[in-house]
Structure 1
Amino acid sequence: MFPRPKLTVCVPSRNRQRTFKETIRALLLRPRIDVQFVFADNSDDASIMDDFMADHLADPRVVYLRSQDTALSMVDNWNRCVEAAEGEFVCMIGDDDYVDVNMIDTINRIQEQDPTLDAFCWNRLTYNWPGMPRPPSNVHIKLEPEIRKIARGVLYAEFFGWRALPSSARIPMGFYHGAISMALMDSFKERFGSYCSHPTVDFDNVCKVVSSANGLYFSSRPFSVMGACAESNSAAIYNSEGHARAHAQFMKELGRNMDEDPYMKLTPFRSEHGLAASILQVQLWFTSTFGYQMVDGWEQGFAKACALNAQFMDTKDSYDRTIKNYRQALRKWHGGKYLPFFKPEPFVERYGTKLWTGMIEGDLFIHERIDFISTPRELYDFVEQIVARPEDLVIEDHSGMWQAKSA
């Protein structure tokens, strides 16, 4: 009988068996016994993953949740993952991603200094699988060898205020590519009614973490890779037509249009406008449902984020459409008061453009298309030879800096 796992890695999937299989293979290569894996298939054809998993069910670390006769909602599929988790911490990744479970050793190091650890998160690498219908990109690698404790107030102000603050993580902190204590997750179920509630499940969790967690730590060193394949929703984020199709399919499977939910009467922005609007939708749902507040001045930061959303689009047509939609909404919002903060930079053609590689302000950028790299795991193994060893990371407490500045 194994002791309680330190970490449970949950991998929910729907109709992406190609990358799901590769992700499972990559995760199981780690020989640790203090980790549990929950693989939750939610596909239309259950037999594909049933046949594949038959060879892995003897591994005592594996829990396999097979597809049901009727497809589950994303919320229900993610919730059943967490319900099956036995680890002290839980991490959720996509079926085209990778996470290094050896970060368990780093969790143990932090807990030796701070037993109140609720959340350990990190910078993520990005990788477009071969066949991804978008131009190749470079991989941004943070080289700082540090782990910072961050005050919850910093993260709350950053997320619900749409602004970057000193000593902040600069990325959303939650169980999606992060490790959150099951004790905290159980408190979410008690306070909010379920582990996962809003259909945009990753940012649902961010809302709950930044409003509730105590010991929050962030590593500059990456411990995971966020992959994107041709079949994934993330493939559509940077293309307006693809996003519209993915949005329509998402609403169809949900059984309603979230943009018509009552709390959306507060804003002219709709999730179909882009990523920034989708995040705002979750924030408005969370604050209006559970009595939390957006941070004063958030509107300016949101308008700036809408401009960044447009700048990340892959094609000029997608760029123009995104700008048009956001500009129209901003004109209707508070009489156009925040339209002056919407200043997208000119479009930059990415197809055929030579990517920058090298050092910029202490960060390393490499081209993602390297001959011997064809999966997120292979990218991570390569980058691991460049970044600091986990045992050499310096753990620092920055939470007092925020308290001093706020006093």
Structure 2
Amino acid sequence: MTLLSICIPTRNRQIYAMSAVREMLSSERDDFEVVVADNSDDAAPLAEFVENCADPRLKLLAPVDKVLSMRANWERIVRETSGEWVSFIGDDDYLDPELCEVIRVTKKVVPDADALTWGRLHFIWPEARSGPETTKMSNGNHLMRIKKEDMIRKLFFWEDAVDRPNCPFGVYHGAVKRTLLEDIRDTFSGQYFGHPIVDYDNICRTLMVANSFVYFERPMSVFGACKASNTMGLRDEKSARTVIETFLREMDGKIEAANFPFPIELGITAQIGHVIEAFKQEQGIEITAWEDNFIKACAHDCESQSDRKLFEARKDAYRQAIVQWRGKDALAAFDPKYKFRTDIPNFVGFHNNELRFDMGIGNAESAAEFYGILDTMMFPVHLLEGRLY
């Protein structure tokens, strides 16, 4: 029986998807499958790769006769999976098939669990780095039940958000039961994904429909960032323009929520704000007392900018949007500070149950290789039973 379907949508970044798949298929487990949805201009590289792998655990969805939007490519992949649980990652990411063991234990100790997530690692591919980078790894190793009402406050009220809501439950770098996906489809107009920004759209849908949430502290996947990734677009102004232009050209549906005057070009906070507001408007959800938390997140988005001129430009743009949205009095919650210091090295060491270290550890050349190095330092997944809080 297939316990887990690992879904990898890709467009013109086949080499990264191959890297992840190659490492996943080195696992001896037979209770997972990898489904790659190729939306590339050239079908040959992945077709040849899959043929050479000759592994029944690997399935390829070939490109169709037109370029699909990200939402449409994600949508078609669910229908081709067979796993009891489903998870999505990006093509430059990595997910450990040992997640199947986490799911097995979760099913045993929390039988009604239908949404699972875990700690994540972050890796910038070497060709995308402009200099040394630090990253962090959680040292936790417990399974924990998470209250739905807590996640509702995190997502819709932006409680304790930095530049984005701290609500990680969804199909992207998370796993949801197939029955939950079917409930999402049946609840929301026959679609698994509705908004063009599919990951946060699915978080909204998962949070509204799921019954039982479980979080595993140990990292089980890697958020990768190659040179052409959306993540790198958040770090580089030139890349951001290219990424956004391509996304808007190829998307289907409407990205902007009504009466929410934050240009998506501003940054990640504005983009996620549109997803959540569009979802609330579509579902008729009306809440108050979240605005200040969102405005503070806008300030954090400004503070993520390392270039002083770009920091000031983003600050001014957010300020104008906030005034247009809620008036000048709302600026009381908006106080971004430029914090980037080139004269102070990034902290390396152990703090708040996290190990912070140089991303170049072990000279890893891929997200999969990076995970493999850190996996030797983390809690062994096969010892997980008995770790439920």
Please classify the TM superposition score into its range, dividing by the shorter chain length. Answer: over 0.9
The aligned counterpart of 1:97 is 93
Deviation at 1:67, TM superposition (A): 1.1
Of residues 194, 197, 201 in structure 1, which corresponds to 2:191?
194
The aligned counterpart of 2:335 is 343
Residue 215 (structure 1) aligned with residue 212 (structure 2): yes
The number of equivalent residue pairs is: 384
Distance 1:213 1:269 in 2: 30
Distance 1:53 1:338 in 2: 54
The aligned counterpart of 2:106 is 110
Residue 163 (structure 1) aligned with residue 191 (structure 2): no
After superposition, the C-alpha distances for 1:2-50 in whole angstroms (9 at most, x for unaligned) are x2x1100000000112212212212211121100110111011112222
The aligned counterpart of 2:280 is 287
Distance 1:371 1:152 in 2: 39
The aligned counterpart of 1:130 is 126
* Cα pair distance change 1:319/1:257, threshold 3 Å: farther
TM-score normalised to structure 2 length: 0.93
Deviation at 1:308, TM superposition (A): 1.2
Residue pairs, 1:133-282, within 5 angstroms: 133-164=129-160, 170-192=166-188, 193-254=190-251, 258-259=255-256, 264-282=257-275
The aligned counterpart of 2:350 is 359
After superposition, the C-alpha distances for 1:331-356 in whole angstroms (9 at most, x for unaligned) are 21211232121122223046x86332
The aligned counterpart of 1:19 is 16
Conserved 8 A contact 1:319-1:347: no
After superposition, the C-alpha distances for 1:221-262 in whole angstroms (9 at most, x for unaligned) are 110000000011111012233222211221111267633xxx
Structure 1, unmatched stretches of 5+, are 398-407
After superposition, the C-alpha distances for 1:65-87 in whole angstroms (9 at most, x for unaligned) are 01122111111100111111110
Conserved 8 A contact 1:160-1:298: yes
SS in 2 for 1:205: helix
Deviation at 1:135, TM superposition (A): 4.0
Deviation at 1:373, TM superposition (A): 1.3
The aligned counterpart of 2:360 is 369
Indicate the percent of aligned positions where both proteins have the same amino acid.
Answer: 30
Distance 2:272 2:280 in 1: 12
* Cα pair distance change 1:162/1:315, threshold 3 Å: same
Residue 322 (structure 1) aligned with residue 318 (structure 2): no
The one-letter code sitting in structure 1 at the alignment partner of 2:16 is T
Distance 2:31 2:306 in 1: 41
* Cα pair distance change 1:51/1:317, threshold 3 Å: farther
Distance 1:72 1:179 in 2: 24
Deviation at 1:387, TM superposition (A): 2.1
Deviates more, 1:310-319 or 1:274-283: 310-319
Distance 1:327 1:45 in 2: 43
The one-letter code sitting in structure 2 at the alignment partner of 1:384 is D
RMSD over aligned Cα, in angstroms?
1.9
Distance 2:225 2:132 in 1: 11
Conserved 8 A contact 1:240-1:322: no
* Cα pair distance change 1:133/1:257, threshold 3 Å: farther
Structure 2, unmatched stretches of 5+, are none
Deviation at 1:371, TM superposition (A): 4.2
Conserved 8 A contact 1:127-1:376: yes
Distance 2:252 2:169 in 1: 29
Distance 2:208 2:388 in 1: 22
